[in-house]
Amino acid sequence: MKRRLTELTADPHAGEDLSQRTWLAVWEAVRDGRYDPQRAAMTTYVYAVSQNVFRNWARSRATSASHAPAIAAERATGAAPRVDPIEEAEVIDELRRALRDGAPGLTAGQLQALQLLSLGLTDRELARALAVAPSTAHARKREALDALRDHIERRFFTERPASVRKEQAEQP
């Protein structure tokens, strides 16, 4: 497994790290009773866990790479991007309002999923609370987060004159 992860990452240190993460995840799964020997052999289970560990590592690297230009520019200028505390507070207030009352584009099921997520539930706990399969709960969570993000982007992150922003902020 370590050799395979090293080949996938093309980095011996990353391969070692991912190998250790894989064994830790396998150990936790066995300890918590998530591994069922009736469903899969241990070797198959370890392989599947290593695939998930590698996939998460690759995603985090891709996300880091997409933010690299902004981080490099910030380091080159030595200045952090300026954030207006009033605008930041308005975004937070809108998020709270949307979680409490809903928002345009959010269905009742999506709002319920967001409210449960705001309590810190995992996907499995969310599935139990919604009485659906974990894959359905995950899909509902993604749809809800996408709808919430779209609402916040339309409300705050589109180019519009300050007078329009002020009018929108004054609306209940």
Which one of 77, 99, 128 terminates a domain? Answer: 77
- For residue 61, the enclosing domain spans 2-77
Res 121 pLDDT > 90: no
Cα separation, 104 vs 112, in Å, equals: 14
Q: Please tell me whether residues 14 and 44 are part of one structural domain.
A: yes
Scanning 33-119, the segments in alpha helix (DSSP H) are 42-77, 85-101, 108-117
Q: Which helix (H) or strand (E) holds 141?
A: helix 134-156
Better pLDDT: 149 or 83: 149
pTM of the model: 0.47
Q: Please tell me whether residues 97 and 38 are part of one structural domain.
A: no
Give the pLDDT confidence of 73-86 residue by residue, as tens digits: 666 666 555 667 78
Q: Please tell me whether residues 121 and 147 are part of one structural domain.
A: yes
Res 63 pLDDT > 80: no
Q: Please tell me whether residues 54 and 116 are part of one structural domain.
A: no
pLDDT at 104: 85
Q: Please tell me whether residues 60 and 97 are part of one structural domain.
A: no
How far from 167 is each of 4, 88, 147, 150, 155, CA to CA, in Å?
A: 57, 17, 23, 20, 11
Give the pLDDT confidence of 21-58 residue by residue, as tens digits: 999 999 998 898 888 888 888 888 888 888 888 888 88
In the chain, the number of structural domains is 2
Cα separation, 26 vs 1, in Å, equals: 13
